């Protein structure tokens, strides 16, 4: 039994799903990765150090969702100064990328073929992002934070149910490339729950990074291997499917440190991720639309799970997602009218479209240009649905510093391309761009989410910080593609409007709509999801015209939406708490007694 396995057993023996600690707490979707973060905190590291260790460990134990071949957004809140920053390590398009590269003949490529070719691979940012955060705010060296992941890769771990299911239901992605198949389907047999997985190539890579720093990844042999790997093309695509990344793209990759997007809801303050993620802005827009309704007031019919509550949530989501589809992309490439979309007058006009007793027709994006003279109305983006696989974790340390970190390789298993000899998967993040360009000079359309050199594709990731009277209270977030926004929204409403504890807010069933057309997804199929959305409530929504719930009299709430992990600082006692999501193998570990 390796050292991190022993540490995990000791931690889990003393740690329920919800835990309080005077020192530090980690909340992670995977137990071994949670143990890696707790180990760093126990060694005296801070939340940023622990976040690095968790992310590296997730590359080993949850490789289908995130890793050094991908990117993400890290929220960092510093207790001493009260400052909040976002480390934007989103993947970038290479210099040779072009707006029409996913439609070389004027027709969009088939997603399955495009997304499993090198053309889909963006320049990875995770490692550079972690190193930047450690350099600015950490207390440990990069090598120390890599140690738990190196042990897990070198000595192995038992495959859990979630990894086994993702291998078995891989959409072909662990079978297309020989290196990926050799790791996850040895001898042609998919790894099953309980199997022991050792990854020597990945261990070698992590040791090189520990010894030589990030330049071992962004320059030299690993960089050359990345470039060669992403030049693989699906045979059906030919040369058009080859990746365009070069050694210069890797060497020139830089992260961005961004200030948070600040919003307010019923006396609370929220700090969210600004563009290129749509997560923070869309979440805040939905909240401000809902502020026009008395959510939480059961006497007026707006208690948790009531038809009125769910109806106005659906309609607010539809309106905000219509705006998202048109207005939000990489702000550095095409300015996003952030302030205009959150302008009270604009939001009041949008909220007035919501009728409390019937479903509106499919809404169009609003026009915030009167509140932002520089805004140019683009055409709707033509992107596919985002993958539900990503990962999120949250950490608070003994000093009250907090990290909320969402990270991904995009689709489950990313591109499916494992870098030969180095053992990590490459993302397929560029498929988050429009496959068909939307830019039109005649219309003044900037193509907010069209492919362009160095550009970051639009994301839905939404790591969030909740504050009251200027004091940080909670940090949380979720995976789940476009449903990330609504998972974060549901938890926020549960906390503020419905008076739930964080664990209750996470356990409660969720509702999600990610298109203006309004197909509803909702949960309730697992016993811990309480209180359920009743069939009578669902029938009421059906009568209002909402689609996606199935036939009248049936329980149409059977989906699984997101996986929220959170940490909380009790404003009354200062105690640190964590809450984890049982939709995956969510684990909370407390450090200190």
Positions marked active-site: 390
Both tokens assigned to 44: 């005296």
Say which residue the tokens 């080993």 belong to. 60
Contact 158, 198 (CB under 8 A): no
Sign of the four-CA dihedral 242, 245, 247, 250: negative
**469 φ, ψ to 5°?**
55, 40
**What are the helix and strand counts (H, E) for the chain?**
19, 18
Angle (CA) 299 304 308, round 5°: 65
Contact 312, 295 (CB under 8 A): yes
The string over 179-197, giving b where at least 16 C-beta atoms fall within 10 Å of a residue's C-beta and e elsewhere, is bbbebbbeeeebbeeebeb
Q: How many residues does the chain have?
A: 593
Contact 73, 84 (CB under 8 A): no
**Concatenated DSSP letters for 469-505?**
TTEEEEEEE--STTHHHHHHHHHHHHHHTS---HHHH
Contact 144, 451 (CB under 8 A): no
Angle (CA) 311 315 319, round 5°: 170
Burial of 238 (0-12, 13-18, 19+ CB in 10 A): exposed
User: Pairing between strand 402-408 and 71-77?
Assistant: antiparallel
Q: What does the alpha-carbon distance between residue 584 and residue 54 come to, in Å, rounded to a whole number?
A: 16
Nearest to 320 by CA among 273, 357, 368: 368
The Cβ of residue 303 has, within 10 Å, a number of other Cβ atoms equal to 16
Sequence-distant (6+) residues with CB within 8 A of 13 are none
DSSP state of 453: T
Contact 318, 513 (CB under 8 A): yes
Contact 357, 397 (CB under 8 A): no
Burial of 382 (0-12, 13-18, 19+ CB in 10 A): middle
Q: What does the alpha-carbon distance between residue 357 and residue 79 come to, in Å, rounded to a whole number?
A: 45
Contact 217, 70 (CB under 8 A): no
């Amino acid at each position: 039994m390796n050292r991190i396995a022993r540490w995990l057993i000791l931690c889990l023996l003393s740690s329920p799903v919800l835990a309080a600690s005077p020192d530090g707490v980690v909340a992670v979707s995977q137990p071994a990765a949670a143990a890696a973060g707790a180990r760093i905190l126990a060694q005296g590291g801070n939340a940023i150090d622990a976040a690095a260790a968790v992310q590296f460990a997730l590359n080993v134990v949850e490789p289908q969702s995130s890793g050094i071949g991908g990117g993400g957004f890290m929220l960092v809140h510093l207790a001493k100064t009260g400052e909040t920053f976002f480390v934007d390590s989103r993947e970038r398009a290479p210099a040779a990328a072009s707006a029409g590269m996913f439609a070389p003949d004027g027709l969009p490529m088939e997603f399955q073929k495009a997304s499993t070719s090198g053309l889909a691979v963006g320049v990875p940012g995770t490692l550079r992002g972690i190193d930047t955060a450690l350099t600015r705010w950490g207390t440990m060296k990069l090598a120390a934070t890599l140690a738990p992941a190196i042990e897990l890769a070198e000595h192995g771990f038992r495959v859990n149910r979630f990894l086994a299911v993702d291998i078995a239901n891989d959409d072909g992605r662990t079978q297309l490339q020989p290196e990926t198949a050799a790791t996850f389907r040895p001898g042609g047999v998919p790894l099953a729950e309980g199997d022991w997985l050792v990854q020597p190539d990945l261990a070698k890579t992590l040791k090189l990074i520990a010894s030589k720093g990030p330049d071992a990844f962004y320059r030299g042999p690993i960089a050359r291997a990345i470039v060669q790997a992403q030049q693989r093309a699906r045979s059906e695509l030919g040369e058009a499917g080859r990746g365009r990344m070069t050694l210069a793209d890797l060497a020139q990759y830089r992260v961005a440190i961004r200030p948070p997007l600040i919003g307010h809801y019923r006396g609370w303050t929220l700090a969210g991720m600004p563009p290129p993620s749509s997560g923070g802005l869309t979440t805040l827009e939905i909240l401000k639309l809902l502020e026009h309704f008395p959510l939480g007031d059961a006497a007026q019919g707006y208690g948790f799970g009531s038809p009125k509550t769910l109806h106005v949530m659906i309609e607010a989501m539809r309106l905000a997602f219509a705006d998202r589809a048109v207005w939000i992309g990489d702000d550095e490439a095409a300015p996003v009218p952030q302030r205009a979309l959150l302008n009270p007058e604009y939001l009041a006009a949008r909220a007035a479209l919501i009728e409390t007793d019937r479903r509106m027709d499919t809404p169009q994006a609003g026009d915030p240009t009167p509140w932002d003279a520089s805004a140019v109305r683009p055409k709707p983006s033509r992107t596919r649905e985002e993958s539900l696989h990503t990962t999120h974790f949250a950490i608070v340390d003994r000093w009250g510093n907090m990290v909320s970190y969402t990270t991904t390789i995009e689709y489950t298993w990313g591109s499916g391309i494992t870098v030969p000899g180095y053992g990590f998967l490459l993302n397929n993040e560029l498929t988050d761009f429009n496959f068909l360009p939307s830019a039109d000079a005649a219309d003044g359309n900037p193509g907010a989410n069209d492919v362009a050199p160095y550009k970051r594709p639009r994301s839905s990731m939404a790591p969030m910080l909740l504050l009251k009277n200027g004091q940080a209270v909670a940090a949380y977030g979720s995976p789940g593609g476009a449903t990330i926004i609504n998972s974060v929204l549901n938890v926020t409403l549960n906390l503020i409007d419905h008076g739930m504890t964080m664990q209750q807010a996470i356990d409660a069933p969720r509702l999600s709509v990610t298109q203006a057309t309004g197909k509803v997804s909702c949960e309730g199929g697992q016993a811990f999801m309480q209180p359920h959305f009743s069939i009578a409530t669902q029938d009421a929504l059906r009568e209002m015209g909402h689609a996606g719930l199935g036939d009248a009299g049936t329980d149409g709430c059977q989906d699984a939406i997101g996986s929220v992990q959170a940490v909380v600082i009790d404003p009354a006692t200062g105690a640190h708490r964590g809450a984890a999501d049982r939709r995956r193998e969510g684990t909370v570990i407390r450090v200190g007694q």
